[in-house]
Chains A and B, each alone.
Chain A
């Protein structure tokens, strides 16, 4: 009786264990199935290389390039802000402040991560967007630049938390050794600890990038959603995620437009898959040292 129960429970546990593989395969195959039938009708090259995203005109044009460029603009902008600030904050929290304050700051960062992206988007819309418009004297404040700033706040918690882990997992002997040789705390920090924690920090940055690329609601609310190839980050852009979110509601289920959004989903899936894979490699490297 006891034996059978154990046996059944252990089988259930095993099935739950492999459930995540099943979902990854399911997600991929769903996106792939819809995406593939779209590529069959429209062509991969025309999709990836096309300059125009006019899904509802006749004949429709599904050039995803402006959307990719839009995502890249916002992502680069957000990273340019979030990476230095995030890594510096992680250094500050893990190595400079006393333990009591460190715990408070870490909890604060964790709370930051919990703020919903619609709320960030809403706040950006009413505070930052008018500000950007008046400061830079632009026709509209809904630009890639505004999006980058708000998204930076969403990437910072990820970057801080993971870098902080990496910095703190540097063996204390390294630090003691350097300090014993007469290096100042800052020299030790910069030349020894930062170097040793580098793989973990790179992983943190990759995961931060993943978070920004995948972010949907805030970009949809702030970046202006103009599907054209931008010339500077002070122009409105439209990202891949925002396109899916904004247009899925209007499509005919099973039609070309519908399928094209799955094709974008597939592109996004592959990009984030790659980013996470690389991040995971670096995280593994960090653990081995």
Chain B
């Protein structure tokens, strides 16, 4: 066997690692580029603000955008308070006992359940058992359960990054535990929790499988009136027009993909920049 000069082998390996990184990241940038290049021509105010026409082959995607926004906002309104409370429990109150360990295991496994299984569960419990029907609320609840472990995990790490000494200082003044959390810990953890929430919103905006049987409809001729309505949703709409409808004009598909992609990426970027900003500004 040839024994390579260590310097040479280092150079070789570094090049290899660099290639791997390029291979991992470049295709995704290419994908985004392709969508932007082909989709930009379809984007217009009319495309964003009108109903689909002619069997969805022309017109806009307004109902799909509104549908996704309404499902996602309902979902985050449910999952954020519950998730933050759960994180507070785990980080501030829970003792290191059997119950805590089971909760942590449950969260880990909840995070790993495939999204389509959440869809099944949502269909079984919200649509059928609770008789909510295929509706915004059923889809939102399904998504909120799916996002719960993510919210809990990010909220926990934000709470954990608040120095323990702040809690001691507050408690030593006779302030109760909850008051300490409410007035000292939470205000300092809020930036991190919100950043996590925005990332979650971005992620669930693009989810299709969980809303497939719980909220999304192929085509709805009107805008949603209440949370018990079926809606069109952007990711599902993209799936439909790219696979189920033959002879769909390509630029409409690209345009829809571009709108969805931009929605998700913009929110993620906001979250990432917010995180950098708050880290820099942190006072301790």
Query: Which residues between 68 and 108 of chain A lie within 8 Å of chain B, taking CB atoms?
Result: 84-86, 88-89, 91-93, 96, 103, 105, 107-108
Binds B, one of A43-51, A58-66, A113-121, A227-235: A113-121
- Residues 249 to 275 of chain B near chain A (Cβ within 8 Å): 253, 257, 260-261, 264-265, 267-269, 272
Complex contacts, A117 vs chain B, CB 8 Å: 206, 208
Distance (whole angstroms) from the CB of B278 to the closest CB of chain A: 14
Chain B, interface SS category: helix
Task: Tell me if A236 is interfacial: C-beta within 8 Å of chain B.
Answer: no
The verdict on A14 contacting chain B, using a C-beta distance below 8 Å, is yes
Question: Is A17 a contact of B21 with CB atoms below 8 Å?
Answer: no
Q: State in angstroms the CA–CA spacing of A268 and B202 once bound together.
A: 25
The minimal Cβ–Cβ distance linking B141 to chain A, given in whole angstroms, is 11
B26-52 contact mask (Cβ, 8 Å, vs A): 1 or 0: 011101101100000000000000000
* Pairwise interchain contact B86-A89, C-beta atoms closer than 8 A: no
Chain A: how many interface residues by the 8 Å CB criterion? 86
Say yes or no: B90 contacts A272, CB within 8 Å: no
The answer for the CA separation of A26 and B121 in the assembled complex, in Å, is 9
Known A122-B253, A153-B28, A217-B209: A185·B110 in contact at CB below 8 Å:
no
Once the chains are docked, how many angstroms separate the CA of A91 from the CA of B264?
Answer: 28
Task: Write out the residue numbers on chain B whose beta carbons fall within 8 Å of the beta carbon of A153.
Answer: 27-28
Q: How far is the CA of A60 from the CA of B146 in the complex (A)?
A: 33
Of the residues A13, A96, A123, A269, contact of B89 by C-beta under 8 Å: A13
Question: In whole Å, how far is A164's beta carbon from the nearest beta carbon of chain B?
Answer: 11
Chain B residues within an 8 Å CB radius of A112: 25, 28
Chain B residues within an 8 Å CB radius of A34:
124
B253 CB contacts on chain A under 8 angstroms: 122
Interface residues of A in 184-235 (CB under 8 A from B): 184-187, 190, 207, 210, 213-217, 221
B20 touches A118 (CB 8 A): no
Give the CA-CA distance A91 to B24 in the complex, in Å: 13
Cβ 8 A contact of B235, one of A3, A26, A116, A241: A116
The proximity string for B residues 201-222 relative to A, scoring 1 for CB distances below 8 Å and 0 otherwise, is 0110111110011000000000
Report if A41 contacts B (CB, 8 A). Answer: no
- A248-B212 in contact given A20-B148, A156-B24 (Cβ < 8 Å): yes
Q: What residue of chain A has the Cβ atom nearest to residue B212's Cβ?
A: A245
Q: Does A244 belong to the interface (CB within 8 Å)?
A: yes
A105 to chain B: which residues have CB within 8 Å? 21, 25
A92 with B21, Cβ < 8 A, contacts A115-B261, A186-B13, A216-B209 known = yes
- Contact, CB under 8 Å: B120 / A262: yes
Q: Which of chain B's residues have a CB closer than 8 A to the CB of A121?
A: 239, 242
Interface positions of B from 97 to 131, Cβ below 8 Å from A:
99, 102-103, 105-121, 123-125, 128
B2 at the interface (CB under 8 A from A): no
Inter-subunit contact A265/B120 (CB<8 Å): yes
A10 to B177, CA, bound (A): 9
Interface readout for A27-38 with B: 1 if CB under 8 Å, 0 if not?
A: 100110010000
Residue numbers in B under 8 Å from A122 (CB-CB):
238-239, 242, 253, 257
Q: Is A237 among interface residues, defined by CB-CB distance under 8 A?
A: no
Residues of A within 8 A of B121 (CB): 26-27, 30-31, 265
Tell me, yes or no, whether A138 is within 8 Å of chain B by CB.
no
Chain A contacts of B25 at CB under 8 A? 89, 105, 108-109, 112
Is B261 touching A241 in the complex (CB atoms < 8 A)? Answer: no
- Evaluate contact between A88 and B20: CB separation under 8 angstroms: yes
Q: Are B10 and A185 neighbours in the complex by a CB distance under 8 Å?
A: yes
Contact A20 B208 (CB under 8 A): no
Complex contact A268–B27 (CB within 8 A): no
CB of A131 closer than 8 Å to a CB of B = no
The 12 listed contacts between A and B (C-beta, < 8 Å) are A9-B178, A16-B83, A16-B88, A19-B86, A23-B106, A111-B272, A114-B203, A118-B235, A118-B242, A127-B34, A276-B112, A280-B108
Which 5 interchain pairs have the tightest Cβ spacing?
A116-B206, A214-B114, A17-B89, A16-B85, A88-B20
Q: Which residues of B contact A (CB under 8 A)?
A: 6-7, 9-10, 13-14, 16-18, 20-21, 23-25, 27-29, 31-32, 34-35, 81-83, 85-86, 88-90, 93-94, 99, 102-103, 105-121, 123-125, 128, 145, 148-149, 152, 176-179, 199, 202-203, 205-209, 212-213, 235-236, 238-239, 242-243, 253, 257, 260-261, 264-265, 267-269, 272, 276
New contact pairs (4) apart from A20-B148, A153-B28, A221-B243, CB-CB < 8 Å: A20-B110, A34-B124, A85-B24, A88-B16
